[in-house]
Amino acid sequence: MSVSLYAHIIFKLGMVRFATSLLVVLLTNVLNRVLIVEFQTPATLIAFIFAFQHLATPSGLIAGYFSDRSRGGRRRTPYIVAGMLLSIAVMPFFPAWGWAFAADSQSPSLLWMGIGLFTLFGVGTTISATAVNALLVDRIPEEQRGSGMTLVWLLTLAGFIVGSTFFSHLVSGNQIHRLEVIFWLFSGIALAITFWSVRGVEVAGADDMVAPVRLDGIGDILMGCYRSSQARLFFLFLAATVFFLAMQTFILAPYGGVILNLPVGETAIFGVYTSYGTLLGMGTAYWGQKKNPRLGDRFFLSAGLLLGAVAFGLFSLSSRGPNPAMGEAGLWLLGFAKGFFNAGISFLTMRLTHPSFSGVFMGLWNLISGLALAAGEMAGGFLLDQGVRLWGDLGVGYAMVFLAEALGLLGCLVMLRFISVPTYWRQIALQLGVRASQAQQ
């Protein structure tokens, strides 16, 4: 295939993730802030319910396994479409549930309804994301996969920017009563983008880059990864970094509302700040890696972890009182940190992925990162509430969360030094009988 066709495939796969971002931004940047700040629902309870979208990530591993086993036809596209349809179908129900739960947060039926909605949403996004990444491995040449995954991630972030900006213009000040209409609108847009994106992205019977040998036993694949010390170290590193980066997910928007005294429309722009910073960081990493391939994933991962620690340090300091300038600087730094980290983890992940088990590997990648996201989000809400309970000061509670994140990222930086890609492939070759090419090593 030509370079232009590869770019077309990457763009369309990225637009699927763009559509997903339009939905996610309404939950993470809007609904959670409304429930925690405007309706004073405990952050621990909200983080617990919201985290169930990530606890649904085992579905990605199962979907990845069955899509790996498919023979002929379009083996990834049905999973992309099914996952997106499920996520879109449940979106319009969230505002009504949110108002009801805010009025009666002690109701067991409303608690389980929220858990059910977020679980279904999580199943859908996980299945579609796993299939998108596996299809990227199927159809893109090995040496371009890391860059391709980075570009897909860039379009994912563009969805956050568009969604956050769109929402801030639709809702001025605290006009939260318009949420139901906006949820329906975003769902319709995501549906249209999804159907346009999947057309022609996978040709029936043409698994261009798939290796001739396929591994069918999911237990054997997982056991082979488990027996590789480098595979265990990589997934531990992935889990730890995602955990500490995720602790602020449901904290940042309420932090802007309480500590910085900003209305809903303004805190929705937080997603724009961090997304722009992330785009710039990923763009810089993409350009830098093209100009100097020797920089590699280790350089950008290290830079991302260091910048993230500094950003969380600024948030911690600004929690002592209203300091919008320091908070805004932290948002931009956090964006750059995520950009470098996303690019670095994209390059590293694609160097460790083999077409023979790409669906299972990406499913496992989503499972571990999803569980780490859930744990991090719940830990953030728990630490915030505990800080307020112990010290009676909301600012101290926020400072505790951000300080824990800063120290955690510095610990991950130490872990990174022990990851070795050549050693990983020697161990995987021994356990699974697949060989890595020069590009992967």
- pLDDT tens for the chain, 441 residues: list them: 566 778 888 899 999 999 999 898 888 767 776 776 667 777 677 777 887 887 788 888 888 888 887 766 678 899 999 999 999 999 999 888 888 887 887 888 988 998 999 999 999 999 999 999 888 888 888 778 888 888 888 888 888 878 877 776 665 545 456 778 888 988 999 999 999 998 888 876 555 455 444 555 778 788 888 899 999 999 999 999 999 998 887 777 666 656 565 555 455 556 667 777 888 888 888 787 777 767 778 899 999 999 999 999 988 887 776 666 777 788 888 889 999 998 899 889 988 888 778 888 888 998 898 889 888 888 887 887 787 788 777 777 778 888 999 999 999 999 999 999 999 989 988 888 776 654 455
Cβ atoms of 436 and 354 within 8 Å: the answer is yes
What pLDDT sits at residue 212? Answer: 41
What pLDDT sits at residue 245? Answer: 92
Class of domain 3-204+211-432: mainly alpha
What pLDDT sits at residue 386? Answer: 81
What pLDDT sits at residue 84? Answer: 95
Please tell me what DSSP assigns to residue 413: H
- Helix, strand or coil for residue 34? helix
Please tell me what DSSP assigns to residue 91: G
What pLDDT sits at residue 270? Answer: 64
Tokens of 170: 């639709």
Q: Which amino acid is at 248?
A: Q
Cα 415 versus chain centre, distance: 21
Global confidence as pTM: 0.77
Using CA atoms, how far apart are residues 178 and 146, in angstroms rounded to an integer? 40
What pLDDT sits at residue 242? Answer: 94
- Computed on alpha carbons and rounded to an integer, the radius of gyration of the chain in Å comes to 21
What pLDDT sits at residue 233? Answer: 96
Using CA atoms, how far apart are residues 159 and 386, in angstroms rounded to an integer? 34
What pLDDT sits at residue 263? Answer: 54
Cβ atoms of 356 and 64 within 8 Å: the answer is no
The residues spanned by each domain of the chain are 3-204+211-432
Using CA atoms, how far apart are residues 335 and 280, in angstroms rounded to an integer? 8
CB neighbour class for 264 (10 Å; exposed up to 12, middle 13-18, buried from 19): buried
Cβ atoms of 374 and 126 within 8 Å: the answer is no
Q: How many CA atoms lie within 13 A of 315 on its CB side?
A: 29
